[in-house]
Structure 1
Amino acid sequence: MAANGFTPWPEETALAYRRAGYWQGRPLPELLHDWAAAHGPRTALAHGATRLTYFQLDRRVNRMAAGLRLRGVAPGKRVVVQLPNTPEFVVAVFALMRAGAIPVLAPLTHREPEITHVVAESEAVGYIGPAVYGGFDHTAMAARVAAGSTSLRRIFTLATPGEQAGGFSVLPGGCLAFPLHTVDEAPVPDRRPDASDVAFFLLSGGTTAQPRLIGRTHDDYAYQLRATAELLGLGPEDVYLAVLPAEFNLTLGSPGILGTLAAGGTVVLLDDPAPDTAFAAIARERVTVTSVLPGLAARWLDALDGAGAGLVPHQATFAPSRRPVHPLAAPAESPRTPSPSGTASGRHTESTHRTPLPDGQTLRAGTLDSLRVLQIGGGRLAPGLAARIEPGFGCRLQQVSGRAEGLLTVTRLDDPRDVVLTTQGRPVSPADEIRIDAPEGEAGELLVRGPYTPRGYYRSPEHNARAFTPDGFHRTGDLARLTPEGNLVVERRAEDLVIREE
């Protein structure tokens, strides 16, 4: 069921992507079933003391999907999801897809004007958000938006632990409000979407206009997960720290949360990027990969410098990586069994098999020695800061350039150090196409198309006529150039990403 207003790829192009194996015809909620079958007792999500195995994650998704359908969320309808980095974010997104609905992923920093716009543009029938977060009352905001909306009729609120209540309430105008934890019913048969359908909507960045909706299909996003995970050598022993907002494309699927789950790894969800909080999580969970913005990387490095000898990363070596790539379709290793503490044993192998540090333990030398890759994206990485990353954190740097609209370029783990420090690498897919609107070797506007770059914004025909060429290239507005070796150097982004690093 393609969302009305979504611009599909041309039929001949879509057929070529399928024949090449980029698009495999498997919707994301169906893939979650596969991941649960392959990695069932392994830890999928960790958030503080909370642990969910793959079996538990799949079961919660099933039950929430049934609960959403019972409460009036019909197939094909849109629901705004505005949640912090908690397990409920992952469960809600998959539950909506499994119920046949389409999540619209909104940053927590968006307030009433932006959410009103997103609800109107998507004709969202529901909103899922925290009751109160960071001192802001999201439930009251959603109620005001619903009062002025012709579509929004269901609000689901995530309460803080200890403040959960049952039942539901009727808001002025007839909108119903439910505590999210009560959306829990006996599972019903899945409603299987077509893999060419929109799986969810991401929102465009920028500070000068209202966000635009970007429809990502099951096929294109599943391919993005596979391609980025394979380049990172992501496997079941990896632990990914989601410290940037979960709805950010870098965090969600580059390979991020979903790519880690596809590989059978563990996702650690953290909603406070402060150095002490993040370093404690890295030490406790033995994190191997995380993604940050340049400003947050600098903040973490400054904290390391200030800590002196009391907090020292392991000694890094910068020889080309020989870590094997793990095909995501390969059979899983022998399942591990949950330990008495609720965590799972066997999550790490070889040198990363260490006992997690208990909560509250003082940080000490070696705290960051589990890290193997730090991804940095979301903006230009200054050469001086780039040069500090590998010696500062004792791990490999991977530069990432991309946006919710599609094209991702990354440096490879075996790239020469000067390439890693000074470029944003090469496209992740052999089918990605790049044009630079300038003479060869010079900087110009970056135009892109490919198997995970949508062909238009949702319900924006006039804007699409300006933002896309007649042959389907997206005009990014970025100023970029290609090196003689084919690596991308982004000189200037067209717009600032709306992401809080504080």
Structure 2
Amino acid sequence: MQTPLADLPERLHQLLDRHCTQQPNWPALYEGEISLSYSQLRQASIELAEQLSQDGVRAGDRVMLVAENCRLLVAALLAVSRLDAWAVVINARLSPAEIENIRQHCGARRLLFSSAISVDAAQHAAQARAEPREHPLLGGYHLGPLNPDCQPEPVHADNAQQVAAMIYTTGTTGNPKGVMLTHRNLLFVASMGCHMRKLTRADRIYAVLPISHVFGLASVCLATLYSGSSLQLAARFDAREVIRVLREDHISILLGVPAMFARMLEVATQQNIELLAPALRFMYAGGAPLDLTLKCAVERRLNSALHNGYGLTESSPTISQTRIDEQRDDTSVGRPIPGIEIRLLDKQGSTVAQGEIGELLVRGPNVMKGYYRAPEQTAQVLSADGWLNTGDLAREDSDGALFIVGRSKELIIRSGFNVYPPEVEAVLNSFPGVVLSAVVGLSVAGNEEVIAFIQPSDPDGFDKHALQAFVGKHLSPYKRPSQTHVLSGLPAAASGKILKHKLKAMAAELAEQARLTSHT
């Protein structure tokens, strides 16, 4: 199965054209008690595009959409596409300083805030002195002042060259980079998501993953619109609400990050709630490593396979995923999706033998155009012939399925031995009472220590000594954490991705405090 690239629309907004002819009154979006049909969504996006044009937005301009999931955000993405401008999609939960850094870096022409549904967006709008606006189908929003210094980027008729959206990554260093994703990048992944999940218009997809993250944008939002299915929007993740909608709202497709599924199980267990999902036919975890203990627990409680996949912002995001008709009992991220090439290379740049670990490179229609205004950073990860170095370490099974063993930059070398954090995290997560864990390396004199952070369901009653004994039975001595810190919650991005650079900084700070204490 492969979607011919020639059959993809040239622009994101053209996704609606076919459906408005064939099923104009079919619901495209649900947001609380409000629904919009495909024809209503199309008309709203046309009207919003006309308004933005009157407000000075031109082809090639960057328009920042500071929002949480809502119908306005979906319509704004399509409206910006109509103008051949770039949508810079920003989660409203970012701090004012983070938003200001991105605004300055991308040189946005205008900022649009989903102030009616997001307290954070409303606060940002007030700080930006944005004007209140109202649309009969999309509700209220605010529009920031015009930036007269914004210089439009060149416009390309080719969907492989014209940027549709720019996503700023959190990155492992904490310094965000603007990832330029073209219309073809996003439409290719949307088409793959549609076909590989066998989406039909009868499906109802729960959209709780932030559309400001590429997982929520391409794999959830755009894949739904590509297929003509219905999207049920949720501004923020709430475990009890996800449990309710699975039981009551005929949700057939659920995509999330592992932390989301872990929290659902935790709440269901604590509150003695039976998990029921009568319409659910496809579940998928991505965005972070999925450990086997969590996978098995979710499958048992929801009586459905939990599929796994892998990707990154720079690949729009999907690189590989398990197949809908092939249930696996391991944590493979599946085979590469059709149309994608991969390589696994050693430190010398040679291809590793099958089953051996190598750094993963990928090439295909999903690979980004580059980092905005950062040619040197782009050249570090993207070769002239289109190969993207993911920075992840992987091995390939005999059936072509990939296993991600960790990030090359997160590899811990302890006493000369390689320690892959996901392996240690899998053991920690299998201990009763552990909801989430994260493992980082801490440089010490002549060596590197393994430091663990765990989020238990009951921090006050958690038995660290029992955990250490458990780990001692399941991990070699060099893999065992030298320190384990218990936190009420792990730092995470809005997408649910654990921010390990913050944990590394915390580990270093704790080590320094311990050193100073020992000298007093």
How far the C-alpha of 1:436 sits from its partner, in A, is 3.6
Q: Distance in 2 between matches of 1:107 and 1:167?
A: 15
Aligned position for 2:493: 498
Q: Distance in 2 between matches of 1:140 and 1:210?
A: 26
Q: Distance in 1 between matches of 2:55 and 2:211?
A: 26
* CA-to-aligned-CA distance 1:6-52 (integer Å, 9 cap, x gap): xxxxxxxxxxx99x546645211122222222221111100110110
How far the C-alpha of 1:465 sits from its partner, in A, is 2.2
Q: Distance in 1 between matches of 2:124 and 2:56?
A: 21
- Are the counterparts in 1 of residues 333 and 401 from structure 2 also a CA contact under 8 Å? yes
Aligned position for 1:220: 185
- Are the counterparts in 1 of residues 93 and 120 from structure 2 also a CA contact under 8 Å? no
How far the C-alpha of 1:62 sits from its partner, in A, is 0.8
Q: Distance in 1 between matches of 2:369 and 2:158?
A: 18
Q: Distance in 2 between matches of 1:434 and 1:455?
A: 20
Asked if 1:370 corresponds to 2:370, the answer is: no
**Structure with greater Cα Rg:** 2
How far the C-alpha of 1:470 sits from its partner, in A, is 4.2
How far the C-alpha of 1:401 sits from its partner, in A, is 0.9
Which amino acid letter does the alignment assign opposite residue 396 of structure 1?
Answer: A
Aligned position for 1:28: 12
Q: Distance in 1 between matches of 2:301 and 2:6?
A: 37
Q: What SS class does the counterpart of residue 252 from structure 1 fall into?
A: helix
Residues 1:70 and 1:233: Cα distance change in structure 2 (over 3 Å) = same
Aligned position for 1:353: none
- Going by fraction, where is strand more abundant, 1 or 2? 2
Looking at both structures, which has the greater relative contact order when contacts are Cα pairs under 8 Å and sequence separation is at least 6? 1
- Are the counterparts in 2 of residues 114 and 210 from structure 1 also a CA contact under 8 Å? no
Asked if 1:285 corresponds to 2:249, the answer is: yes
Which amino acid letter does the alignment assign opposite residue 267 of structure 2?
Answer: A
Q: Distance in 1 between matches of 2:143 and 2:402?
A: 52
Q: What SS class does the counterpart of residue 417 from structure 1 fall into?
A: coil
Q: Distance in 2 between matches of 1:158 and 1:274?
A: 29
Which amino acid letter does the alignment assign opposite residue 40 of structure 1?
Answer: P
Residues 42-57 of structure 1 correspond to what in structure 2 (within 5 A)? 42-57=26-41
Residues 1:470 and 1:218: Cα distance change in structure 2 (over 3 Å) = closer
Aligned residue pairs, count: 398
Which amino acid letter does the alignment assign opposite residue 492 of structure 1?
Answer: G
How far the C-alpha of 1:58 sits from its partner, in A, is 0.5
Residues 1:312 and 1:290: Cα distance change in structure 2 (over 3 Å) = closer
- Are the counterparts in 2 of residues 130 and 159 from structure 1 also a CA contact under 8 Å? no
Asked if 1:435 corresponds to 2:399, the answer is: no
Aligned position for 1:263: 227
Query: TM-score, normalization: structure 2?
Result: 0.70
* CA-to-aligned-CA distance 1:283-333 (integer Å, 9 cap, x gap): 33210111111111011112233444x5243xxxxxxxxxxxxxxxxxxxx
* CA-to-aligned-CA distance 1:88-138 (integer Å, 9 cap, x gap): 110111111112221111122322332222222222111112348345711
Structure 2 unmatched ranges of 5 or more? 150-154, 411-490, 498-520
- Are the counterparts in 2 of residues 131 and 158 from structure 1 also a CA contact under 8 Å? no
Which amino acid letter does the alignment assign opposite residue 328 of structure 2?
Answer: R
How far the C-alpha of 1:194 sits from its partner, in A, is 4.2
Match of 1:444 among 329, 333, 358: 358
Q: What SS class does the counterpart of residue 250 from structure 1 fall into?
A: helix
How far the C-alpha of 1:397 sits from its partner, in A, is 1.3
- Are the counterparts in 1 of residues 113 and 143 from structure 2 also a CA contact under 8 Å? no
Aligned position for 1:415: 326
Q: Distance in 2 between matches of 1:497 and 1:436?
A: 30
Aligned position for 1:364: none
Q: Distance in 1 between matches of 2:331 and 2:64?
A: 38
Residues 1:50 and 1:193: Cα distance change in structure 2 (over 3 Å) = farther
How far the C-alpha of 1:193 sits from its partner, in A, is 5.2
Which amino acid letter does the alignment assign opposite residue 128 of structure 2?
Answer: A
* CA-to-aligned-CA distance 1:333-383 (integer Å, 9 cap, x gap): xxxxxxxxxxxxxxxxxxxxxxxxxxxxxxxxxxx2111111111111111
Which amino acid letter does the alignment assign opposite residue 198 of structure 2?
Answer: G
Aligned position for 2:474: none
Q: What SS class does the counterpart of residue 159 from structure 2 fall into?
A: coil
Q: What SS class does the counterpart of residue 422 from structure 1 fall into?
A: coil
Query: TM-score, normalization: structure 1?
Result: 0.72
Aligned position for 1:199: 164
Residues 1:157 and 1:246: Cα distance change in structure 2 (over 3 Å) = farther
- Are the counterparts in 1 of residues 339 and 365 from structure 2 also a CA contact under 8 Å? no
Identity %: 27
- Are the counterparts in 2 of residues 435 and 448 from structure 1 also a CA contact under 8 Å? no
* CA-to-aligned-CA distance 1:390-440 (integer Å, 9 cap, x gap): 11112221102111111421111122422xx32011111234333343632
Residues 1:417 and 1:465: Cα distance change in structure 2 (over 3 Å) = closer
Structure 1 stretch displaced more, 480-489 or 23-32 = 23-32
Aligned position for 2:379: 465
Which amino acid letter does the alignment assign opposite residue 472 of structure 1?
Answer: G
Structure 1 unmatched ranges of 5 or more? 1-16, 144-154, 176-190, 314-367
Aligned position for 2:448: none
Residues 1:110 and 1:167: Cα distance change in structure 2 (over 3 Å) = closer
